[in-house]
Amino acid sequence: MNRNGNALFDPKLENYLRDAQTSQLDELSEWLRIPSVSTLPQHKADVERAAGWLAQKMEAAGLQNVEIIPTDGHPIVYGDWLHAEEHAPTLLVYGHYDVQPIDPEELWDSPPFEPTVRGDDLYARGASDDKGQLFAHVAAVEALLAASGPLPVNVKFLVEGEEEVGSPALTAYLPAATEKLAADVCLVSDTHILSPDQPMIIYGLRGVWAGEVTVKGPSQDLHSGMFGGAVHNPNQALCSLLAQLHDSAGRVAVPGFYDEVQTLTEEERTALAQVPYGETELLQETGAPAAWGEEGYTITERIGARPTLEINGMWGGFIGDGFKTVIPGEAHAKVSCRLVPDQPSPAIGPMIEQFLQGIAPPTVEVSVNTLQHAPATVVPLDVPEMRAAARAYKSVFGVEPVFSREGGSIPIATVVQESLGIPILFMGFGLPDDNLHAPNEKLHLPNFYRGIRVGIALMQELISS
């Protein structure tokens, strides 16, 4: 049924979907019980077990050529179904079966690896990010094959176990596997929608640069009584340098930072203005006393469509209990940027370093060390696959999706888009309060079942795009 209670699919498929709900929930819960925490070495065997569970489920669902591909890190799981009519498009479904660590464990209301239903929600680590969302697409394929016959499109699944640690193995694997993974469009359900009844297509994700700034002064920590006033304190120098990274209008002051940034088109500004999120919602959600940001841009534009620079952490000198009158030898800051399309992510670190070295006084030495970078992704709004995605959402939810650009980054999405040269549809069905990466992660079950229906509707809509 869609939300108006009308049957969306033929009766056989509708009956199947109604009857399968319990087993779909049971199976997902079984998968969620496997603690596939990719970043913790003690869970390596669990991560492998989660890959094996998925491969078995994919086979049971009717997918073929299912493989667990070993890598230097955690395995990649692949499976396909390639018997659609001639000229039918191929849909590549990307997802990940690894999860974030659970700490602080004491803040969970039920154990993170004992999936628990409370009200309309299923609580477990990975319920929304990303096992639940990925499972829905396997279930969609299974439902169609079981109750409706051949799939309308060819389907390939590419599921990794390292998304939460930066996708190193998949990044290395992709360039050599472009033929095997060749497809017309990629579907990623690893994002959230606005509310249970308002679907949203993310058509842009920001890229990222992250690094560390080090300010060096004297060769060792000094006594402030003996040297204070005569040696420049690196903490003080760091603060004054970091304070100059933005101007008074909230713009990043690093020369060259905005050089390649595309101007927002009127079409995009209009689309972004439809997203019902503004200062009121921002203040409510964050508890911040007032909004801040780049002048001339709305909150939604600042979050998703403009680049930013943040100081994530600062340390240096003595920060223990009590007091120590010290002039530290070094001071440090973690700095990161969210990037928009066309900003060259590898160039950001050197750009910041050059700027800071240029304004640093001769009393200290500054260096910037890059830790991570990935460019932004943007999908054109006017491609036929995007219109098919919008129709699929609308048929299930009964309302048109809004289009938005997300503030976060899924670095592997850019790699997929670039190596395969296909558009990506970010069609999530998580919710903003799913507590991703936090205690009490949950999946809103009505949306899980809608997610399965959206997956089916998308396969059907792609042949009429």
Decide whether 186 or 241 has the Cβ nearer to Zn ion. Answer: 186
| Distance from C-alpha of 382 to C-alpha of 399, rounded to nearest angstrom | 19
Side by side, the strands of the sheet bearing 207-216 are 308-316, 330-339, 207-216, 365-374
E strand spans, 235-329: 308-316, 326-327
**Cα distance between residue 310 and residue 328, in whole Å:** 24
Calpha distance 164→185 (Å, rounded): 23
Strands (E) located in 318-456: 326-327, 330-339, 365-374, 377-378, 402-406, 424-427, 442-444
3 state SS of 343: coil
Closest to Zn ion by CB, 189 or 235? 189
Q: How far is the CB of 130 from Zn ion (least distance, A)?
A: 4
Give the shortest CB-381-to-Zn ion separation in angstroms: 24
Q: Provide the annotated active-site residues.
A: 98, 163
Specify the residue, 354 or 372, whose C-beta has the smaller distance to Zn ion: 372
Angstrom distance (rounded) from CA 194 to CA 174: 32
Least CB distance to Zn ion at residue 243 (A):
35
Residues near Zn ion, by CB under 5 A: 129-130, 190
How many whole angstroms from its chain centre is CA 204? 11
Q: 75 or 152, CB closer to Zn ion?
A: 75
Q: Which residues, 6+ apart, have CB-to-CB distance to 159 below 8 Å? A: 51, 54, 76, 77, 78, 94, 95, 96, 97, 134
Shortest gap between Cβ of 188 and Zn ion (angstroms)?
9
Shortest distance in whole angstroms from residue 54 CB to Zn ion: 15
CB nearer to Zn ion: pick between 19 and 103: 103
